[in-house]
Amino acid sequence: MDEQLAQFIRALSILLGWIVYSWSASFYPQPMLNWKRKSTTGLTVDYPALNVVGFVSYSISTACLLYSRRIQKQYALRHPSAPETTVRFNDFAFAAHAMVLVILTYSQFYSAIWKFEVPEVRTSSIVRMIILGCLVAVLLATSRAAMNDGTDFDPQAWTWLDVIYVFGYIKLVVTFCKYVPQAWMNYQRKSTDGWSIGQVLFDFAGGVLSLGQLFIDASFQGDWSGITGNPAKFGLSNISLFFDVIFILQHYVLYRDSETGAEEDSQRLLADAD
């Protein structure tokens, strides 16, 4: 590959990575909307609760792939044709920043802290089971990796790299699950009132750019295993884009004329909560 072309591709990858901060911007509209309305009505508590689990896991995954020499060594041995991970600093910065914002959004469901009108605080039983399942998965993976710790690296055996992959897969599972309750709530209320479309649009832009960076990095290495070696980033982008399309259709097509009814519904929910 021509050196100038290689430098251009590297620069483009870095640029896309930092432009992905439009994805980070997607975490501001919802808490700002909640603050403006002094209410979390229209936002299901399951969404930020799962978001907290997901981004704590994603922060751990990206930090270890980026900074842990042991994890990097195990990755290189398992992917000899493309020994360098496609995780970049912007991935970790995105995850850590998002973790702080989703914790903030989740805290807005506690009226003792924010004095907001909160119709629902308790997460659903299904979401609690998902969170418990994630914890069990991490404990099982950690115990298996600990049993093999100190032995020669075996690509077929469980290692600490697999524990990090578990954190990445938790983020994928949580990302899929977290959107379902919100999409269902919008469907039941026939409205997206209280659900910020701004965060959806930023999220959509970030997903597209993140995928672009991943494909550029993999093509530059000349080995597409860089994509399968970073399943969290690849899956996260695709799942987000899928649900973003659903939310865009709900907001701009299906329920675009339903804000009045949604306000009445919000008042009814608040009255029921009292």
What count of other Cβ atoms lies within 10 Å of the Cβ of residue 13? 20
Q: pLDDT value at position 261?
A: 45
List, for residues 41-68, the tens digit of each pLDDT value. Answer: 999 999 999 999 999 999 999 999 999 9
Contact 92, 66 (CB under 8 A): yes
Q: Which residues neighbour 103 within 8 Å (Cβ) at sequence distance 6 or greater?
A: 52
Q: Tokens for 261? A: 């009814």
In tens, the pLDDT along 97-112 reads: 999 999 999 999 998 8
Number of domains observed in the structure of the chain: 1
- Over residues 123-145, the mean pLDDT reads 94
Candidate ranges 18-27, 145-154, 175-184, 220-229; pick with highest mean pLDDT: 175-184
Amino acid at 155: P
Residues 6+ apart with CB under 8 A from 274: none
Residue 263, domain extent: 3-273
